[in-house]
Chains A and B, each alone.
Chain A
Amino acid sequence: MSVPILKDGGFLLAAVQAALSDAAWLGFREDLAETLGRTRARGVVIDVSVLDVLDSFATRMLRAIAQISRLRGAETVIVGIQPEVAFAMVQLGLSLNGIQTALDLEEGLAVLRRRLLERADGR
């Protein structure tokens, strides 16, 4: 199961469609890095709303994706973490410290636009 990555303006949108195995997460991370390089996108929104589990491996992958993107000059926003999933992550001791999150796709895109404006202003 691969994650489709769409380009929309200067941003990439990736909506996870179903539970991912570890190998699928690794593939997604690589696809995204490659697509970022090819498209020169300035931001990435990753929608995880269909996922009912974000365990330590998935969390590590999301962090890695955000870090890789940042090194390539793009911002990442994770959207759609379900409330029960957030609760389980906290219980497990996981955090997405330093990574932008937002409620849904629309809000994620708004966050990206705001961040890019801030960058343009040199803030």
Chain B
Amino acid sequence: MDADRAFEAERVVRVANDADVVAAREAARALAVEVGFRGTDLVLIATAISELARNILVYARTGEVRLSVVTSAHRRGVRVVAADEGPGIADIELAMQDGYTSGRGLGVGLPGARRLMDDFEIDSGPGRGTRVTVVKWLGRNA
């Protein structure tokens, strides 16, 4: 899905403890402010990244959140990749269901993050980690 898009320099937040969850969402929010997001969108982005970063911590223990500005033909946005080398997800369809959890959360992380953002992509499988890519486009809800 990224073929026609240009990315500006990435910022990387390592996620290895609970303070990093706060750092990741604050970094995402700061980048979103620079891109021009305001108000509700900032809260939606920060909340989504909080869920994705916590998923890393809970399921993989360590990983990273990579933030970048994405530009396509007529629009700009914030792109966030939450990547880990944890156990991976065997059944992605199941993991995307509201209320499903393998035991340690409320089961809202992935489906919730998808609703909070505009684009959502997940790449995962047993033994090869998890990579969730989300994008929020500027002006879409304005």
- Give the residues in chain B near A52, CB-CB below 8 Å: 29, 42-43, 46
- Give the residues in chain A near B116, CB-CB below 8 Å: 88, 91-92
Interface string of B86-128 (1 = CB under 8 A from A): 0000000000001100000110110111011000000000000
Q: With the chains together, A93 CA to B19 CA distance in Å? A: 24
Q: Smallest CB–CB gap between B7 and chain A, Å?
A: 25
A56-B105, A91-B116, A92-B116 known; A85 vs B18 contact (CB < 8 Å)? no
A19-B26, A21-B19, A56-B51 known; A87 vs B40 contact (CB < 8 Å)? yes
Q: What is the chain B residue whose CB lies nearest that of A82?
A: B43
Interface string of A18-57 (1 = CB under 8 A from B): 0111110000000000000000000000000000111111
Interface residues of B in 62-89 (CB under 8 A from A): none
A52-B42, A53-B43, A53-B46 known; A91 vs B115 contact (CB < 8 Å)? yes
Q: Smallest CB–CB gap between A19 and chain B, Å?
A: 5
Contact of B43 (CB < 8 Å), options: A19, A57, A87, A93? A87
Question: Do B115 and A53 have beta carbons less than 8 Å apart?
Answer: no
Interface size class of A (residues with CB under 8 A): 20 to 34
Contact of A92 (CB < 8 Å), options: B22, B25, B108? B108
Question: Do A92 and B21 have beta carbons less than 8 Å apart?
Answer: no
Q: Smallest CB–CB gap between A53 and chain B, Å?
A: 5
Contact of B112 (CB < 8 Å), options: A20, A21, A57, A92? A92
Q: Smallest CB–CB gap between B28 and chain A, Å?
A: 10
Question: Do A57 and B22 have beta carbons less than 8 Å apart?
Answer: no
> Cβ of A60 < 8 Å from any Cβ of B?
yes
> Cβ of A84 < 8 Å from any Cβ of B?
yes
Q: With the chains together, A60 CA to B107 CA distance in Å? A: 11
Q: What is the chain B residue whose CB lies nearest that of A26?
A: B18
Question: Do B106 and A56 have beta carbons less than 8 Å apart?
Answer: yes
Question: Do A53 and B50 have beta carbons less than 8 Å apart?
Answer: yes
A-B contact pairs, 7 of them (CB 8 A): A20-B22, A21-B19, A53-B25, A56-B51, A56-B106, A59-B106, A92-B115
Interface, chain A (partner B; CB < 8 A): 19-23, 52-57, 59-60, 82, 84-85, 87-89, 91-94
Interface, chain B (partner A; CB < 8 A): 18-19, 21-22, 25-26, 29, 39-40, 42-44, 46-47, 50-51, 54, 98-99, 105-106, 108-109, 111-113, 115-116
